[in-house]
Amino acid sequence: MSVAGRRGPLAPVPAPSVLVRAPGKVNLSLRVGRVQDDGYHPIVTVFQAVGLFEEVRVTVAEPGAGISLAVRGPHADVVPTGEENLAWRAAALLAERTGIAADVRIEIAKGVPVGGGMAGGSADAAATLLACETLWSAGVAREDLLELAGELGSDVPFGLLGHTAVGTGRGHLLTPAMTRGELHWAFAVRDEGLSTAGVYAAFDARAGGRDDVSPDDDAGLLAALRAGDAEAVGRALHNDLEEASLDLAPHLAETVALAERAGAAGVVVSGSGPTVAALGRNRQHALALADAWAAAGVADSVHHAAGPVHGARVVTQVSRARD
């Protein structure tokens, strides 16, 4: 008897999906101007993408299903999974602008500390924009995708671009910066975040900002990056919001001081905090800085990573069901 036609059950056919990885960031410099009539502060910042990544998978859902979102990883329980999530908003915005039905399932794996001022949520939004554009074959040009990213949030365009860049305006207008070699970072993270709005309010009460912030203010930092001189980069780290952050979270001063005593090339509160970034002279030194923080108990978690790294990038793609 012929057995040629005997087969087991067919394996489930995977739905089309795209997996994208996008990085967190550290602000090497942040200069803040006086608040404007629209409520925004003009800023000049030097971003660097670092090797702590968010992974976002977007999968085609049944027609009419709409958007659904799930999050896993450290502190996933505090990440919103509804319309207030930046990744959700990214999928909805791209669908609106392209006329494509937003019937997708978004799954986020957290690798960037939550609420640490390292733009994990912005990385999710950047990754979702790229994943949906790829999944839908929407034909959106890169510059248009960056424009949409800027509508979502000031840090989202950098999640797409990655590497090292100077941000102006609200931080969303980016100019790539030349760098040489790698920088090795240690990060001290607190579970209790700082409100960005609260830090800016404290900054306004304390100083108010200048009217003339300019990329020229960071000429020394940019020269050090081009030279690959970690010691000079460390000396040039800067954050106009740091004193305001320390006013609201004075315990961060101990974290900064400990890294300085451990010989960091430079230490800075990243963005509006509460993450403290310390620059090591090399990878081993960055690991030692992280260990010093962990041993002293001055952080809820510590991380180390190198930069610069690439921006949002497609990792895997299931383009269509098998025949």
Catalytic residues: 25, 155
Look at residue 9 and give its three-state secondary structure: coil
Q: Which helix (H) or strand (E) holds 137?
A: none
Look at residue 22 and give its three-state secondary structure: strand
Going by the DSSP 8-state scheme, the letter that residue 235 receives in this structure is H
Residue 188 CA: distances (Å) to CA of 117, 130, 163, 291:
11, 30, 22, 10
Q: Are the C-beta atoms of residues 277 and 270 closer than 8 Å to each other?
A: yes
DSSP string, 154-210: TTHHHHHHBSEEEEETTTTEEEE----S-EEEEEEE-SS---HHHHHHHHHHHT--B
Instruction: Say what angle helices 283-296 and 252-261 make with each other, to 10 degrees.
Output: 130
Q: Which helix (H) or strand (E) holds 55?
A: strand 43-60
